[in-house]
Structure 1
Amino acid sequence: MNYLNLENVTKMYGEKVLFDNIALQVNQGQKVALVAKNGSGKTTLLRVIAGEEPAEGEAASVYLHRDVRIGFLNQDPEFFEEHTILEAVLDSDNAMIRAVRDYEYAMLFPNDTEAMHQAIAKMDDLKAWDFEARIREVLTKLEVSDLNQLVRNLSGGQKKRLALAKLIIEEPEFLILDEPTNHLDLDMIEWLEEYLQQPRITLFMVTHDRYFLERVCNIIVELDQGQLYRYTGSYSDFLEKKTTRHEVEAAELDKAKKLLKRELNWVRRMPKARGTKAKSRVSAFEDLKEEVEQVRSNDEMRIDIKGQRMGKKILEAHNIGKSYGEKVLVEGFSYKFRKGERVGIVGPNGAGKTTFLKLLTKELRTDTGKVVLGGNTVFGYYTQDGIQLASDRRVIDVVQDIAEFIPLEKGQKLTAPQLLERFLFNRKQQQVYVSQLSGGERRRLYLLTVLMENPNFLILDEPTNDLDIITLNVLEDFLLDFPGCIIIVSHDRYFMDKIVEHLFVFEGQGHIRDFPGNYTEYREVRLQEDRERRRQEREVEEQKQKTVKPAKAAPSALSQEERKELKRLEKKILKLEEEKAALTEQFNDSSLGPEEITELSKKLAALNEALEEQELRWMELAEQA
């Protein structure tokens, strides 16, 4: 079944063409990822598909199957700010979700027995108890808690997780996701990975998480210079096939250049008075010239900034600790950094990773212990908050505010405009206002401002968010060659595996474990430890069962008359429940008038009262028995 069909779709912003006359199909069961450079129009294409932006082009058409339920995860989800989390996540037309919402509201007011009985009856009718358990599982996995908290008090990352939870709970057949792994910790990402692998889910998403691409997607679509290129297979298949395409294009370009040279010689030799045939050839020459001039740009971001010399003492933490109230984030941590160390930091959201970095840079004071900084240590701190600049600043102004030039290896210097070009900001883009940059372009510019400080100790807090794969590859190569120290907090498993040599693992209650290896190696060890712990727990439980002697059955505390009464109550309760079900069914009659509804409500209230009385007596006797 065809879920999505795009034909002849174009999108432009001023003179910039994001995509030109493109076509795209997504069929049931396919899991498609869209990859492209930052600023190429990935998010815009998603918004066109989701119907949030119009498609342009004379014959443009966007077809979405009308019987397929679609869910769209935006990068900046919007909610009614005065809603609670519970109201926001269960705001739906889905009958099952509405039943769960009524039940959750009834649980908040246990004294309203009528509302509680009605909610329970509705849950029973729709068989929604398993679904309610599924909702709780999703909210727990994505750490959406405190259901009475107002949406306006949530951070951007919490809103993104709330939107993702709401989307998964709705269970749409076709998911359109824009960077779904942003703001998720590693355990959440792996859980989401498993969920999206289900055969029933059809997927179209943008992500730069390369492990996610490898394990979830079976089709990758690349948006390159306004055109779409489709590759079947995983991310590794995509890399192989893309390389082949570029080799073919390079060969064709070489042929076109040679032909252009011959045609240029012919045009120069031709007299001014040309015939029809000659004019046709000149026209063909102009077309060929335009084709060659639109040659693929193989510019890649290059980083060869010289780092400052480090001293013998770099950075030392001596028994440091930090708490907020009863929450202990860091306790008794000690470590001496050595030259060239590359450390990754992992742990759940809220474990204290960012606080830990601020302690090391002395942005926060420790409660206990001390941090000693070497005399030659210069931090380059890339924070989660990103670049904070006025909207009227141009890209070139941002860089020149820091320095007009920076030192390179071998005594050379690089001017601010030249440096920006190496970061894929051409001279035209350098005059663009910061407010006009895409999220990934802003991140790239921010990274440049950090490196321009010429640091020898880099601290990167979620540097991979919103960066395209090309920028990530170049950043990885730079970090591998960087002579100073590096600390990285990232949820990008591929990035961590490639860069870090050992990990600081936040295990809770302020304990930080120094693990000798990358993230994948840590996960394997943790899985083995979990299996061993469960095995030991089973052995302890089995041993308990062997040592505990079975207790003798206690004689019944009920008299013969009370035992008869218990059996009569069971039959009576069953009959009352049948009467209640029949009475409840009458409310579904749309022809009922107000007086009849009032009368039925009185009967139902009396029936509920009788049922409660019988159940209380049954519970008394059952407890005695």
Structure 2
Amino acid sequence: MANLISVERASLALGTAQVLDGVSLGVQGGDRIGVVGRNGGGKTTLLRVLAGSMGVDSGRVTRTGSATVGMLAQADVLDPGATVRSVVLGDLPEHVWAGDPRVRDVLDGLLGGVDAPGVGGLDGLVGPLSGGERRRLALARLLVANPTVLLLDEPTNHLDVEGVAWLADHLVRHRSRPDNAFVAITHDRWFLDAVATQTWEVVDGSVGSFEGGYAAYVLAKAERERMANVTAERRDNLLRKELAWLRRGAPARTSKPKFRIEAANALIENEPPPRDDVELMGFATARLGKDVIDLHDASVTVGDRVLLDRVTWQLGPGDRIGIVGVNGSGKSTLLRALAGEVPLTSGKRKQGVTVRLAHLTQEVRELERYADRRVIEAIEDVRTSIRLGRKEISAAQLAQRLGFTGGRQQTRVADLSGGERRRLQLTRLLMDEPNVLLLDEPTNDLDVETLTSLEDVLDGWAGTLVVVSHDRYLLERVCDRQVALLGNGKVRDLPGGVEQYLQLRHQSTSSPSPTPAQAESAPPASVSAASPAEQREARKVVARVERQLSRLTEREERIHMAMTEAATDHERITELNAQLREIADERESLELEWLEAAELIE
């Protein structure tokens, strides 16, 4: 594969912070790279260095002469007087872009089609558009331009679940050729799993590279810690818990075959499920009783729009419900109706006498009165300790679990970043010991590490939880049930989860829904078309490849041990590194063979 961008021993300091420290990496043709790391850790700076918009203090950054680079920044500035057409399509003649399936796919996926109803049509002006709509315009412009290397800084911001799924599909279909590549910073772990063949972790000035998406990254990181003989205390951390979730709850997330996940059995064989649902339900019932919040025949109308139309819904003790829906369908309104914060046009709301409700909105202005106080003071202003599950923890301990470690607890609230303010909001809400928690887009501005910590805290929280989010991973991770708002004012249950929601949306936008008879007669999508003989042969191939991969893993472990023993022998390390590369190439070939065979098996 062609090397499109090369970074050699690059170092860069911003003020007193060493953002990059002797980093060497490359972007090759066909690469689909996801970038993760803590907020403020240097992810955006790395993208700017790759784009050439920021120089380095030392080292070298080179790009292939014919390669073009395009970057989606978090704060794109669009001319408010320009039209949607001129921003997205530039001076492309209509017969050119209208005849290009790739461009039409972008217009359909991000703007709602050629007529672009979501942004007032192609001839509509940029000025009246919301921040989210402008963000989609900037992304559409970049995808239409189709540079050799796409650099995307949080591309899923302002996209709903459906938009994230579309973007993942578009990138995989159009950015997997040997003559192009993309690098995307993202905290959306489902998106990372869906698109990435490689994950970079930016931490303490270095960039670690991991094969695969989020699931493979978690597995590889846990395995590296084990191979490095870390202490038992450090091994027994969130990585192992997250790995246990990935294996038990959703093994199909990873594009890697099952044996890559099963390789982690030794790490998680004694790891309990993320949540003890029976125990939490018992705690929740004791705290809440039988009655929580009921909506009966409830409607909410704003102007001439009916956001909720005669909705009847009972929230029970211990319910953990995720809400999905298109932008503007009334998700936040439903949360406010549950909280009793919006008047009902008709119908009734009933709340249990023991309910202690907390509502995380998308606003952070509530922290303004704490601007001159320290983080820990703003938290202890609520309470100094809480009970989480069976344990009592202090305000400082909860703050640390949500990312406010050491000196950050002494930081003035006014000096916090957007992600830190969001974390502070969550911490203060949890310190109030609510038994009903309503969360409106809680993942906004949070990095992957903080999201994992939040999920860990919610695992031990006993109460009723309702979450509105476009983060598919979070919804499936912390909720036991999903419901959808499809824009008709009704709440639709989703026994099939987010995947069912996407199917419903696809049916509503592409073709009439099938009749019950048609649906019943439709062949199951999972039935293999291979003959019995072909399936028997495929099973033999799978078994053979798994044995070969097992032997490769044993060889790899022996090489790692040899590298530890030869740490000071440069020539021997070089020789062992070459052997590891050979193993990686052989593994990739075997995995492709396994995947081809596995597709033939029912």
Corresponding residue of 1:464: 443
Corresponding residue of 2:553: none
How far apart, in 1, do the equivalents of 2:335 and 2:440 lie? Answer: 8
Matched residue SS, 1:491:
coil
Matched residue SS, 2:406:
coil
Q: Aligned AA for 1:403?
A: V
How far apart, in 2, do the equivalents of 1:13 and 1:454 lie? Answer: 40
Q: TM-score, normalised by structure 2?
A: 0.68
Matched, 1:167 2:138: no
Cα distance, 1:54–1:445 mapped onto 2, change above 3 Å: farther
Corresponding residue of 1:361: 339
How far apart, in 1, do the equivalents of 2:11 and 2:324 lie? Answer: 42
How far apart, in 2, do the equivalents of 1:446 and 1:75 lie? Answer: 22
Q: Aligned AA for 2:159?
A: L
How far 1:489 sits from its partner (Å)? 0.9
Corresponding residue of 2:288: 310
Corresponding residue of 1:26: 27
How far apart, in 1, do the equivalents of 2:181 and 2:453 lie? Answer: 32
Corresponding residue of 1:64: 63
How far apart, in 1, do the equivalents of 2:107 and 2:510 lie? Answer: 25
The Cα offsets for residues 567-604 of structure 1, whole Å up to 9 and x where unpaired, read as xxxxxxxxxxxxxxxxxxxxxxxxxxxxxxxxxxxxxx
Corresponding residue of 2:11: 10
The Cα offsets for residues 152-188 of structure 1, whole Å up to 9 and x where unpaired, read as 4333222211211111122222110111112111111
Matched residue SS, 1:346:
strand
Matched residue SS, 2:486:
strand
Number of aligned residue pairs: 461
How far apart, in 2, do the equivalents of 1:54 and 1:247 lie? Answer: 37
Cα distance, 1:82–1:397 mapped onto 2, change above 3 Å: farther
Corresponding residue of 1:183: 158
Query: Conserved in 1, the CA contact under 8 Å of 2:376 and 2:395?
Result: no
How far apart, in 2, do the equivalents of 1:328 and 1:170 lie? Answer: 39
Partner of residue 308 from structure 2, selected from 330, 335, 347: 330
How far apart, in 2, do the equivalents of 1:190 and 1:16 lie? Answer: 36
Matched residue SS, 1:153:
coil
Query: Conserved in 2, the CA contact under 8 Å of 1:35 and 1:208?
Result: yes
Matched, 1:373 2:351: yes
Partner of residue 140 from structure 1, selected from 109, 112, 133: 112
Corresponding residue of 2:84: 85
Cα distance, 1:441–1:44 mapped onto 2, change above 3 Å: farther
Query: Conserved in 2, the CA contact under 8 Å of 1:496 and 1:518?
Result: no
How far apart, in 2, do the equivalents of 1:41 and 1:394 lie? Answer: 27
Partner of residue 404 from structure 2, selected from 413, 417, 425: 425
Cα distance, 1:231–1:389 mapped onto 2, change above 3 Å: same
The Cα offsets for residues 285-311 of structure 1, whole Å up to 9 and x where unpaired, read as xxxxxxxxxxxxxxxxx99x9999324
1:594-613 → structure 2 map (5 Å cutoff)? none
How far apart, in 2, do the equivalents of 1:156 and 1:397 lie? Answer: 33
Query: Conserved in 2, the CA contact under 8 Å of 1:382 and 1:459?
Result: yes
Query: Conserved in 2, the CA contact under 8 Å of 1:387 and 1:443?
Result: no
1:482-521 → structure 2 map (5 Å cutoff)? 482-520=461-499
How far 1:326 sits from its partner (Å)? 3.2
The Cα offsets for residues 167-221 of structure 1, whole Å up to 9 and x where unpaired, read as 1122222110111112111111111111100223411011122222222111111
Corresponding residue of 1:43: 44
1:343-358 → structure 2 map (5 Å cutoff)? 343-358=321-336
How far apart, in 2, do the equivalents of 1:15 and 1:346 lie? Answer: 43
Query: Conserved in 2, the CA contact under 8 Å of 1:402 and 1:453?
Result: no
How far apart, in 2, do the equivalents of 1:486 and 1:143 lie? Answer: 35
Q: Aligned AA for 2:326?
A: P
Q: Aligned AA for 1:356?
A: L
How far apart, in 2, do the equivalents of 1:224 and 1:397 lie? Answer: 25
Corresponding residue of 2:425: 446
Corresponding residue of 1:319: 297
How far apart, in 2, do the equivalents of 1:427 and 1:234 lie? Answer: 31
Query: Conserved in 2, the CA contact under 8 Å of 1:396 and 1:416?
Result: no
1:189-204 → structure 2 map (5 Å cutoff)? 189-197=164-172, 198=174, 199-200=176-177, 201-204=180-183
How far 1:334 sits from its partner (Å)? 0.8
Percent pairwise identity: 33
Corresponding residue of 2:551: none
Q: Aligned AA for 2:77?
A: E
How far apart, in 2, do the equivalents of 1:397 and 1:387 lie? Answer: 18
Query: Conserved in 2, the CA contact under 8 Å of 1:497 and 1:520?
Result: no
How far apart, in 2, do the equivalents of 1:42 and 1:455 lie? Answer: 35
Matched residue SS, 1:424:
coil
Corresponding residue of 1:604: none
Q: Aligned AA for 2:385?
A: I
Partner of residue 218 from structure 1, selected from 197, 204, 225: 197
Q: Aligned AA for 2:453?
A: V
How far apart, in 2, do the equivalents of 1:387 and 1:128 lie? Answer: 45
How far 1:332 sits from its partner (Å)? 0.7
Q: Aligned AA for 2:3?
A: N
How far 1:11 sits from its partner (Å)? 3.2
How far apart, in 2, do the equivalents of 1:519 and 1:73 lie? Answer: 27
Q: Aligned AA for 1:488?
A: V
Alignment RMSD:
3.5
Q: Aligned AA for 1:48?
A: V
How far apart, in 1, do the equivalents of 2:232 and 2:294 lie? Answer: 55
Cα distance, 1:395–1:181 mapped onto 2, change above 3 Å: farther
- With 348-357 and 392-401 compared, the bigger mean Cα shift is at 392-401
Query: Conserved in 1, the CA contact under 8 Å of 2:375 and 2:412?
Result: no
Matched residue SS, 1:508:
coil
Query: Conserved in 1, the CA contact under 8 Å of 2:375 and 2:409?
Result: yes
Q: Aligned AA for 2:136?
A: R
**Larger Rg belongs to:** 1
Q: Aligned AA for 1:37?
A: R
Cα distance, 1:409–1:323 mapped onto 2, change above 3 Å: closer
How far 1:484 sits from its partner (Å)? 0.5
1:435-584 → structure 2 map (5 Å cutoff)? 435-520=414-499, 523=502
